[in-house]
Amino acid sequence: MSIFSDDRLDQILAEVQSIAKEAGAFIRQERLNFKQSKVEHKGFNDLVSYVDKEAEKLIVQRLEKLLPEAGFITEEGTNTTQSDSLNWIIDPLDGTTNFIHALPVFSVSIGLEQKGKVILGVVYEVNRSECFSARKAGGAFCNDERIEVSPAPDLSASLLATGFPYYDFEQIDKYLFALKGLMQKTHGLRRMGSAAVDLAYVACGRFEGYFEYNLNSYDVAAGIILVQEAGGKVTDFSGGENYLFGREVVASNGQIHSEFLSEVESIWT
């Protein structure tokens, strides 16, 4: 049970949407004059820029005022003070590689986690100005219009999303084998480059399903509750609930979940 009333969660959610849009406006403006020389490397193919860092600082400063009692889990580490009960989980620019290459799929992702469960989430896709939002037991929305998952009944009627490994290639053979099977049983697979956007698109019915491994909580926190509140289902690769911090996610419209999961589970477990 949430420690907040529904009315209070609605108030917080409205503020988080405003914060995400403010960060998105900054990111959009910086993209206009961005230069490759401003890119930094956190690790092999793990890219970051001043835009990620400044956007995160903005978000953290706003959220600290909104809920002073909450801790933070942040991609860029601008605030790492965690709470035992309540934490903001933030990816200030999900899709950094897309941003750097001027590929228009990247987003701001902000989730609020209470004792391991996401109770609120916002994904703001910067290029289309689409603000996806949800809070526990409150439904899911895009630009304040209610959204629902696709009604597709099976994999054969589905378009799926995934993410390709870009630095941890230990499981690449399993991954390629999974792609081979799913390509033959669906309408196809897409790699957008932002896990938050992938999950938002499952929530609004553009994709029927999404899977990926080697993820972090800030990649998926906000998107998880979007899918759940839009009527979909989220599990780990074993069908369990270790998807927020377990580094693997299978999300779907619910209708295809058993069939979809069996394809993934047979390869990874």
The string of pLDDT tens digits covering residues 131-147 is: 999 999 999 999 999 99
At residue 45 the predicted structure's pLDDT band, cuts being 50, 70 and 90, is very low
In a domain, 110, yes or no: yes
| Same domain for 234 and 136 | no
| Same domain for 100 and 160 | no
In this model, does residue 42 exceed pLDDT 60?
Answer: no
At residue 38 the predicted structure's pLDDT band, cuts being 50, 70 and 90, is low
Half-sphere exposure of 213 (CA within 13 A, CB side): 18
The pTM of the full predicted model, rounded to 2 decimals, is 0.94
In a domain, 257, yes or no: yes
| Same domain for 127 and 18 | yes
| Same domain for 162 and 69 | no
170 vs 153: which has the higher pLDDT: 153
Convert the pLDDT of each residue in 19-29 to its tens digit: 999 999 999 99
Kindly report the CATH number assigned to the domain that includes residue 92: 3.30.540.10
179 vs 154: which has the higher pLDDT: 154
| DSSP H helices in 67-216 | 96-100, 172-183, 195-203
**Sole residue written with tokens 């909450």:** 70
- Total domain count for the chain? 2
What is the domain range of residue 244?
155-268
Going by C-alpha positions, the residue among 158, 112, 159, 121 that lies closest to residue 141 is 121
CA distance 118 to 234: 12
In this model, does residue 269 exceed pLDDT 90?
Answer: no
What integer best gives the mean pLDDT of the chain? 92
CA distance 234 to 42: 30
| Same domain for 136 and 180 | no
In a domain, 219, yes or no: yes
